[in-house]
Amino acid sequence: MPNTKSAERRMRSNARRHQQNQSAKSRIKTLEKKYLGAVASGKKEDATVAFRTLASALDRSAKTGVVHTNRARRKKSRLGVRLAALAS
């Protein structure tokens, strides 16, 4: 239990931030599954749209510190390679 007012405040804000971070991570995982499903089925247009949405979500999460910047870049790069392979 917190002993000071500032510790109580910090506890509340940490809980709020944790919820937002979990929500963002969950959304990224869902978008990634949707993208991989589109790639597996060979639907290039659906995969392109899904990739754009996923890349945007990763960038936003990296900007706010939910995921590390380099992790987001690495993930976008690896997923983009799959999209390029689908095109050829």
- Residue 88's pLDDT is 72
Residue 26 has pLDDT above 90, yes or no: yes
- Structurally, the chain folds into a number of domains equal to 1
- Rounded Cα distance between 30 and 24, Å, is 10
Q: How many CA atoms lie within 13 A of 31 on its CB side?
A: 21
Domain span holding position 34: 5-87
User: What are the residues whose beta carbons fall under 8 Å from the beta carbon of 84, sequence distance 6 or more?
Assistant: none
Question: pLDDT of 31-81, one tens digit each?
Answer: 999 999 999 999 999 999 999 999 999 999 999 999 999 999 999 999 999
User: In this structure, what CATH number is given to the domain that contains residue 11?
Assistant: 1.20.58.110
